[in-house]
Amino acid sequence: MTEPAIIVENLVTQYGDRRILDGVSCTIPRGEITVILGRSGCGKSTLLRHLIGLARPHSGRIVILGQDLGGLDEEGLTALRRRMGVLFQGAALFGSMTVGDNVALPLREHTTLEESTIRIMTRMKLELVGLSACEDYFPQALSGGMRKRAGLARALAMDPEILFFDEPSAGLDPVTAAGLDDLILSLNRTFRMTIVAVTHELTSVERIAGHVVMVDRGTILFSGPYDQLLASQEERVRQFLERRPDLIEQDTEAYLSTLLGEA
């Protein structure tokens, strides 16, 4: 069997006495699109921060592309990050730089390529995401969806083996979000790239997910193929998929209705 792209074992994260992730274990297969799914505040973004090396766990183990993050010094971690690309939720483009310079930045920082080669590679990445005409634009001149695509072009600059997305559909209208979902699918199919997307958008999950890791209250509620998630009868899984509110929310609604009735 092919070794997983990512292995997480008994990951624990806490801030003071508050435990955010409590013994999380999961695997992320190579060459597939994996969605880390869960409601707001469940710990999925914290898990992503660990996977891209922006946070150190309290305890546990993370292995990415065969390398144990806990055994890497800063130089080793930097080298591993060059094999990964990240599209942050707000695209995180530098407003003082053109789109082309934003995309070229990783190549200028981490390679010794000639500037002419960097410009060619930059145009190729922009072409890949449908922004070939926007190289000389500044980010503020782009729509939200275009900024996401520009951020994706930058994430692809170093030809990563793993591509991470943090809430790719956040802030986008349904049509633009669907276009970004299609682009994610195309990248996976064309390059057999391992893609990890953090989201709570069920429409996007339905379109792109091959494998799902569902986080709930700091633990793994489900990990496996998407069709098995749909077949799960676990109550919290059904509640999420069927968009049913918590009992406390139902109780609040009943209480408010009573107050209005009494008034």
Closest to 86 in 3D by CA, of 115, 106, 60: 106
pLDDT tens digit string along 139-167? 999 999 999 999 999 999 999 999 999 99
Exposed, middle or buried, 60 (CB in 10 Å: 0-12/13-18/19+)?
middle
Profile the chain (263 residues) by mean pLDDT over runs of 10 residues.
90 90 96 93 91 90 95 92 92 95 96 96 96 96 94 96 92 91 94 93 93 95 96 94 73 57 54
Q: What are phi and psi for residue 193, nearest 5 degrees?
A: -80, 140
Q: How far apart are CA 221 and CA 82, in angstroms?
A: 31
3-state secondary structure of 86: strand
**DSSP assignment string, 102-143:** HHHHHHHHH----HHHHHHHHHHHHHHTT-GGGTT--GGGS-
CA distances to 36, 41, 227, 240, 251 from 200, in Å:
8, 11, 17, 9, 24
Identify the pLDDT of residue 253.
56
Identify the pLDDT of residue 244.
87
Which helix (H) or strand (E) segment holds residue 151: the answer is helix 144-155
pTM: 0.88
β-strands 18-28, 67-68: how paired?
unpaired
**CB neighbours (10 Å) of residue 86?**
21
